Amino acid sequence: MLTVAAVLLAAGLALGSPDAALLSLIPLFAYSLNAWMEPPKIAVFKRRVGSQVEIIIESDRKPGIIYIYEAAPINAPVRPLRRRVFKPPFRRILKIQYYMAEKSQPLPLVAESYNPAFTKRRTAVYTEEPRLDASPEPRGPGVEEFLEVRPYQPGDPVKLINWKAFAKTGELYVNTRIGPETRSAVVVVDARRLRSLVIAEAVRAAEILSEKGYDVVYYVLGHGLAPSLPRSFTPSCEGSPPCGDVTVYVGSLADVCLILKCKPAYYIDVAGVNSLVAVKRLKLYRELRAAGAEVLRGAEELRRAV
């Protein structure tokens, strides 16, 4: 702005035009206003989500320029991260994401804020990486303690899935814990037939398993994993449910989408309470038992089976 003011003033003097020279007052006034303005107050937080690091900047409504860089040692072999961000007026939250090596550790941040004219600087803010807010806190002796969050890999126990991180990112992450083990249960829901009855039995099965101390999640065929039954979904045979310490398949067993390889596995036939239906499906029941599963006629039978 000072350069623009100088050019306008020089042009006005060269042309002998007072009006052109007076135009130089406009950028001078704008520069004075920006130079007088205080830089935005900021607080910076950083967390690691899978292979990404997310930096969140919270500030007041003032505009400004924010520099963010990692406090790397002087003799560090790798050049530290450095970002320059313009904060528009009235925008209070900014986010930056970048990828990092799987085994590398984020360094403490240094953040500096300037007013638009770079005449005033806010004191640098140093922040350490906090624990991911979706991670549960340890609650006392004998209880599992949270260690870290990492991307989900096939074969990871369902009980370790971090559902809050999944809701934020759309990707599966698991909590790594240390401490005593807990038991997990997966309720596979096949709602292609007798949907309302299947859902009711699945909910009842989950309640019984929870009473017995299991951490329960649902796997809805055609939808996927869910901590609770979704309000709307399109039933189908698509899906590959994971195994829990106990795996329960709930559906009308007129035809079975898949034979569970999990041990132990239980099949609840919601239509099996009808003796005529059960007789017609004896062949299917034998096949399921031959595969190592147990066939139940209702969720209440889980009380004795598990």
Same domain, 190 and 95: no
Residue 212 forms part of a structural domain: yes
Same domain, 164 and 200: no
* Average pLDDT of span 214-239: 86
Same domain, 212 and 98: no
Q: Are strands 121-127 and 109-114 parallel, antiparallel or unpaired?
A: antiparallel
Contact 181, 148 (CB under 8 A): no
Assign residue 64 the CATH number of its domain.
2.60.40
Same domain, 199 and 294: yes
* Average pLDDT of span 229-250: 87
pLDDT at 265: 92
Q: Could you report the per-residue pLDDT of 36-74, keeping only the tens digit for each? A: 888 888 777 666 665 567 777 777 788 888 887 765 555
On the question of a cis peptide bond just before residue 264, with omega within 30 degrees of 0, the verdict is yes
Q: How far apart are CA 208 and CA 301, in angstroms?
A: 10
Domain region containing 282:
183-305
Residue 24 forms part of a structural domain: no
Assign residue 221 the CATH number of its domain.
3.40.50
If you search the block for the tokens 């003033």, which residue do you land on?
A: 9
Residue 241 forms part of a structural domain: yes
Cβ contacts of residue 255 below 8 Å, gap of 6+? none
Q: How confident is the model at residue 128 (pLDDT cuts 50, 70, 90)?
A: very low
Q: How many CB atoms lie within 10 A of CB 10?
A: 13
How many domains are contained in the chain? 3
Q: How far apart are CA 28 and CA 105, in angstroms?
A: 46
Same domain, 194 and 297: yes
Same domain, 294 and 252: yes
Same domain, 55 and 67: yes
